[in-house]
A and B are shown apart, each in its own frame.
Chain A
Amino acid sequence: MMNHQDIKDRLNDHVDGSLQDDERDQVESHLESCAECSLELRQLRSLLARAEDLPRAIEPPQNLWREIERQIQPATVVTVSPAQPSFASRFRQWILVGTLGAAAAAVVFVLTSTKDPVGGSGVANREASPSQSPASSDPDYVPSLVQALEYQCMGAGKQLLASTKETESQFVLAAATAFEADVHQLDLAISETRAALEENPQDAQLLRMLMSRYQRKLSVLHRATRFVEEA
């Protein structure tokens, strides 16, 4: 026989309809005489009713389509003047590199993958068996994380670009430019790793190296942004 606390602990399961018959009978019997549990049950049902009434859709605050459309169009190369490219233009180029990289990575991995992208693949399965080669049994796992990192780099690059637009300080811009060398080196390393992966798409070590380099690039971009914003 369940006591008051046992019943309280099962109220969520009761509203979800996941109790066994005998447990449900005991809960319902207890509710007839317990004001506290009855009140909690009413509050739970009220909460779930409110959740059910939430709008299924919320309009995005900006027209995101334009950016999506830009990214799915065939890429155009950003022309950077060799004489004295601005800081902003160089960052735009990095963002473009990220975009092209994401597309290239997608092509590489789509070609090597036949699994449905949404059917049970994911980090959870991967981490459950760390000894397996990431590339061999769950081809979507790595592209998903690589793309996540790619897009994070793109977002970080955009954030840095936005931050630099808000400052007119030549000192800050000059200092921020110093981060460029790091990013440039990392982009070269990323390109090399990606090229190697095209040759050996099943190489788990290369995949780990690629992810590590994206993480380092992300870290540099975040540090640069913090510097600009705090300066």
Chain B
Amino acid sequence: MQRVGDPIQLGGAATVGKPPVQSDQSSLVDRVKLGDTAAFEELYRLHCGRIFATCLRLSGDRDRAEELTQEVFLKLWTKISRFDGRSAFSTWLYRLCVNLVIDHLRVEKRTEHWVTTGVELESRPDPKTGPSPHLTAALEEAILRLPKGARVSFVLHDIEGYRHAEIGKMAGIAVGTSKAQLHRARKLLREMLG
């Protein structure tokens, strides 16, 4: 399983670049810290696909994922001076992304439960916001239909490779809750996928 911070395998999109070697990326990061917007655009090209995929799978909404992707990079622009190189830049960036999305989901908690206990699935697909041809894979669509809490645990554990202790810390839930949500997600996905 891919673990957080592993070398990224970027999709085949034309605007998404090849995985950079660490030294090249360090140089880019250093230039961005000095306010170099061209270097920032390079960083964006290198990571936007992975960030968008994470935002989409966590939020379960395509339009929302676009907004969140923008916000991740705007936050990166203001916070990058604090990256001290103790971890891989990609690890740091993806954690920043996950924290931001989870914060948003928690802000939305006022109108819907962050960790739902019901079994109702998200209603999908909406003709305006439903998956595009890029997301025709049945599993991708099924993930978007999961209830929020189950979706977050599945995406973070089974796709992004975080451990339950990390998920619990980021999402503000107990480790046992994270495990329960993951098991529920897997059960629902198996049912949806037949």
| A interface with B by C-beta (< 8 Å) | 12, 43-44, 47-48, 50-52, 54-65, 67-69, 71-73, 102-103, 106, 110, 116-118, 120-125, 127-128, 144-145, 147-149, 151-152, 155
Contacts and interface: CB of A to CB of B under 8 A. Distances in A.
Interface string B159-171: 1000000001111
B37 A62 contact: no
Say whether chain B's binding surface is mostly helix, strand, loop, or mixed. Answer: helix
B96 interface: yes
Q: Which are the 7 A-B pairs with shortest beta-carbon distances? A: A124-B172, A57-B49, A59-B13, A57-B11, A58-B53, A118-B95, A57-B10
B44 to A, nearest CB: 6
Given A54-B159, A64-B48, 5 more contacts: A58-B13, A58-B135, A59-B134, A118-B96, A145-B103
B78 A57 contact: no
B8 interface: yes
A72 B40 contact: yes
B30 interface: no
A40 to B, nearest CB: 8
B15 interface: yes
Given A68-B44, A69-B41, A118-B92, A123 B106 contact: yes
Contacts of B172: 122-125, 127-128
Contacts of A123: 102-103, 106, 172
Contacts of A148: 71, 100, 103-104, 107
A56 B134 contact: no
Interface in B2-26: 2, 8-11, 13-16
Contact of A122 (B52, B103, B182): B103
Nearest to B52: A60
Interface string B54-76: 00100000100111011101110
A61 B10 contact: no
A52 B70 CA distance: 26
Contacts of A67: 70
